[in-house]
A = this chain, B = another copy of it.
């Protein structure tokens, strides 16, 4: 999940959004020749994510950066995660965008790791996945943060994997027919997932040849019943089962205990609690 060209293009766009025609305060008060060192510090506990991106930002504005802690590590308050050295102006130019990326990505990684740990206590092989409920234009960073937190990125785009939803099924005679059509038409390199609402639909989907079945908005008890039924028919292992809809940190254990393979949560990316991170200038030389 790395595309340096895309990353640089995005960062340039982000910096321009913040700079406009230039930082009128810094350009007035700070001399072009003033050099400084700075450090990026966690102000609260969390899982670090985005440090590569932050380092790239400072390099793009003309500084050197040294990654002290790697993405994915749990970080204590007051820990320095990144050190920077370069023109004072450049550090101040990159500061806000770097912190905005770090705060959000670390917030996502922290939440992901937290729900994943909870779930794995009861289901050691379970995956926790994100959805497409991301901030427009920022999906690459949010999905990457989910992965850094140990989660599964799920689809990045609508061409990543087939996902037949309720709205599609309104137009097709049956689940079997829908699955058959995509198996016939879509490239064999793609998996086929389908969203179902009850046990009998799940069975129909598996028998039609789907690769993944998403149990949408089903209560844990219903999910268990469905899994039992699939086992009884000897088809549980032919398929991955994903539960989705209404799963939160409060109830995730109940869902994990059902024995599904994947739990997906929109809140991982749509309702992020940012981690407080700041940049400290030091050793400024005029």
Contacts and interface: CB of A to CB of B under 8 A. Distances in A.
Interface of A: 1-6, 9-10, 12-31, 34, 60-62, 88-89, 92-93, 96-97, 99-101, 103-104, 107, 127, 129, 132-141, 143, 152-165, 167-168, 170-172, 178, 181-182, 185-191, 193, 212, 240, 261-262, 267, 270-274, 281, 284, 286
A135 B170 CA distance: 36
A159 to B, nearest CB: 4
Contact of A158 (B9, B23, B62, B143): B23
B158 A18 contact: yes
A168 B138 contact: no
A158 to B, nearest CB: 4
Say what secondary structure dominates the interface of chain A.
mixed
Contacts of A162: 24-25, 28
A270 B43 CA distance: 15
A281 B170 contact: yes
A164 B26 CA distance: 8
Lowest 3 A-B CB distances belong to which pairs? A20-B157, A23-B158, A14-B136
19 contacts: A1-B22, A2-B22, A2-B23, A4-B61, A5-B15, A6-B21, A24-B158, A28-B182, A29-B168, A30-B168, A30-B171, A101-B136, A104-B270, A107-B271, A129-B188, A135-B137, A160-B190, A167-B281, A271-B274
Contacts of A181: 28-29
A193 B89 CA distance: 19
B16 A6 contact: yes
Q: Pick the most buried of A1, A9, A101: most chain B CB atoms within 10 A of its CB.
A: A1
Contacts of A141: 136
A137 B138 contact: yes
Interface centre among A5, A6, A143, A261 (most CB of B within 10 A): A5
A34 B172 CA distance: 12
A97 to B, nearest CB: 6
Given A13-B136, A14-B137, A136-B137, 13 more contacts: A2-B89, A3-B21, A24-B162, A24-B182, A24-B190, A25-B165, A25-B182, A28-B182, A99-B133, A101-B136, A103-B133, A135-B135, A154-B189
